[in-house]
Amino acid sequence: MVTGGSIDWGEFRAGVRSGIPIFLGYLPIGIAFGMLAVSYGFSPFQAILTSALVLSGSGQFVALSTLALSGSVIASVLASTVVNLRYALLSVTLSAHLHGLKMRILAWLGFTITDESFAINSAEIRELRASPSSMLGVGTTSWLGWITGTSIGAIGSQHMSDLSAFGIHFAMPAMYAALFIALANNRKQIYCGIGAGFFVMALYGLNLLGLQLEIYWYAVIAAIAAATIAVIILPENESAEEALITASEPGADTRISSAAQSTKADKATKAEEDTP
């Protein structure tokens, strides 16, 4: 559990250092979003403002493409909401470790939660290195990386005559393919991703046969259907697989060794207490 009502700037700087890899990772994706947004009719200011106020990489790509294809704000909001539902789960997970914080700190922590910042904050909580101030540093650095990348892409695209020559319209499917390969850690996630792809192809085939369904609904229907089926078919606990994955993370050996030493110490203490 981490508590605190004010910002410790030393811990904040430590969080900034932890967030630098996220900053660097967000630059190319932010550049792609900025260029794509301008190619779809956004002004550079609108593209940058979107990233500053939303901070949802995949959700922004989905909202942008849905809006471009359909012109429907409702469809765009619905599609991005489905993609971003995971943030509710991430927030609930972190909230169990955050108590006694001021509302403005909680609000900023909630706003800056992303998959990457959550991963770093969770790791530092396990290592007993996390604090509200360090989490603020991680989140703020991530936010600045996303805005910086978007700014470079949006402003730079003004000096490029043909963005299609850079394959910018393939940015979103390429990003999702990369995310799937990087984040699919167990059978349920792999089957869910493959199932979603199958549903998209099936819907496209039905559309060719005369089904009157706008293409921007494909991702929404496929994501909900595949996730629902995955939960029903594979409800078992895959904690063993997740433990193996965690054990392969950098620093896992140190944590496991420390845990083992702690267990041995506890056993030794108990044995002394039991000795007459």
pLDDT in tens, 28-68: 889 989 998 998 889 999 999 999 999 988 889 888 888 88
Closest of 66, 261, 31 to residue 149, by C-alpha? 31
Distance between CA atoms of residues 20 and 134, nearest Å: 13
Q: What's phi and psi for 4, nearest 5 deg?
A: 150, 145
Centroid of chain to Cα 13: 22
**What integer pLDDT is reported at residue 187 of this predicted model?**
80
**What integer pLDDT is reported at residue 253 of this predicted model?**
42
Axis-axis angle for helices 9-39, 132-156 (nearest 10): 30
How many beta carbons lie within 10 A of that of residue 199, not counting itself? Answer: 19
Please write the tens of the pLDDT for every residue from 242-276.
434 444 444 444 443 444 444 444 444 444 444 44
Q: Which residue matches tokens 């994955």?
A: 245
In this structure, what DSSP letter does residue 215 have?
G
> Is residue 99 packed enough to be buried (19+ CB in 10 Å), middle (13-18) or exposed (0-12)?
exposed
Highest mean pLDDT among 23-32, 146-155, 175-184, 219-228: 146-155
Non-local (6+) Cβ contacts of 92 within 8 A are none
Interval 74-87 mean pLDDT: 84
Q: Do residues 9 and 137 touch, judged by C-beta distance below 8 A?
A: no
* Tokens, residue 127: 């290592």
Question: Which is higher by pLDDT, 3 or 67?
Answer: 67
